Structure 1
Amino acid sequence: MQAPIDALGVAVDDAGICRIRFGGAPPDRAVSPPDEVLERATDELTRYFAGEAVTFTVPLSVPGGSPFERAVWRQLYVIPYAEMRTYGQIAAAVGEPDAARAVGTACNRNPIPVIIPCHRVVGADGKLVGFGGGLWRKKVLLELEARVRIEREFGLG
């Protein structure tokens, strides 16, 4: 699908979205998907990028990952729209307060970016660091969410 951050390759399996890849490259885990899941995923992503949706309800099928990575991904998934957390905050939330670097690695291995919002994780000083999709994409996603939040809060959207 086409998005403001470049084409996205979206793969689904019989349980839900299993991978999103930047650049539109075909995801390596695509299975003959139920059409309705792929259509729903595409619709929700399209609405997200248009500023019309702030949550995702499409089912996810998160492949692989160590227990630590899966715990990090669960924490990422619950970061509220247009809010940010630091790598250290995520590390503390998963019970490993000294594992901020490992959180960064887990974010980089996130199989479903955007929906599992690793772009909402920033450095301890609030700077944009470490995004597998490129810092320019992280900036676009955070700016989109900030704009939509402001528009909704002030009745502009």
Structure 2
Amino acid sequence: MPLMTFPQPSVGPADLAWLREKLVLDAEQAGLLDVAFRVADTPVGPLLLATTAAGLVRVAYVADGPDAVLDELSRRISPRVLGSPRRLDPVVRQLDEYFSGTRTHFDIPLDLRLAGGFRREVITRLPDIAYGRTASYAEVAAAAGSPRAVRAVGTACAKNPLPVVVPCHRVVRSDGSMGNYVGGLEAKRVLLQLESAT
């Protein structure tokens, strides 16, 4: 006896988007969404943005894909990580304004739990470097209360969990050369040129 086949309902992109949005809403209502994320296209490449109830917790360059960053978030914060683009709309809007030259500082709640100890002290000092200006690693070390910790400032900048938003790109070597940057030297050059042009 031949098997009966039934037509399969077709599921299109709109259906999948609706299901994804419903999953996010249900997870939020049930208190099961600890980290919401999305990837935003920017002039310095794709950035993964992640937020918690406390604020923006991660900005990461993800040219090679977001998997490693999402794995880090699930290990260090919570395994309850879910793509929720709408929840990050305010961050994307401010990034768009920054890259268009109409925003000179970010007004976003930050969750600094991924930076601890002296690194956190450095991270909290970086927004004091004015838009369009730079400071040396030595100047940042002094501002953070440890004038001899120049190398540690470099490490803190390299491990900044919130690049672009927390402006580690404004930290340069004492001779004025750029130094390294988590997003690569070209991204640092673009950010510094953007800020010096306005």
TM-score of the aligned structures, taking structure 2 as reference length: 0.70
TM-fit CA distance, 1:37: 4.7
What runs of 5+ residues in structure 1 fail to find an aligned partner?
149-157
Secondary structure of the corresponding residue to residue 6 of structure 1: coil
TM-fit CA distance, 1:66: 2.8
- Greater Rg, structure 1 or structure 2? 2
Q: Equivalents in 2 of 1:18, 1:115: separation in Å? A: 11
Residues 56/33 of structure 1: CA separation in 2 closer, same or farther (3 Å cut)? farther
TM-fit CA distance, 1:23: 2.5
Q: 1:127 aligns with which of 177, 180, 183?
A: 177
> Does structure 2 retain, via aligned residues, the 8 Å contact 1:16–1:37?
no
Secondary structure of the corresponding residue to residue 97 of structure 2: helix
Q: Equivalents in 1 of 2:149, 2:58: separation in Å? A: 25
What runs of 5+ residues in structure 2 fail to find an aligned partner?
1-39, 75-80
Question: What CA deviation, in whole Å up to 9, does each residue of 1:66-91 have, x standing for no partner?
Answer: 31001000111221111100000001
Give the % identical residues: 39
Q: 2:98 aligns with which of 48, 55, 62?
A: 48
**For this pair of structures, how many residues does the alignment match?**
148
Q: Equivalents in 2 of 1:58, 1:34: separation in Å? A: 17
Tell me if 1:96 matches 2:146: yes
RMSD of equivalent CA atoms: 1.7
Q: How does 1:65-80 map to 2 (within 5 A)?
A: 65-80=115-130
Tell me if 1:147 matches 2:186: no
TM-fit CA distance, 1:65: 2.4
TM-fit CA distance, 1:10: 0.6
Aligned counterpart, 2:56 = 17
TM-score of the aligned structures, taking structure 1 as reference length: 0.87
Q: Equivalents in 2 of 1:76, 1:37: separation in Å? A: 26
Q: Equivalents in 2 of 1:36, 1:58: separation in Å? A: 15
> Does structure 2 retain, via aligned residues, the 8 Å contact 1:20–1:113?
yes
Q: Equivalents in 2 of 1:147, 1:46: separation in Å? A: 16
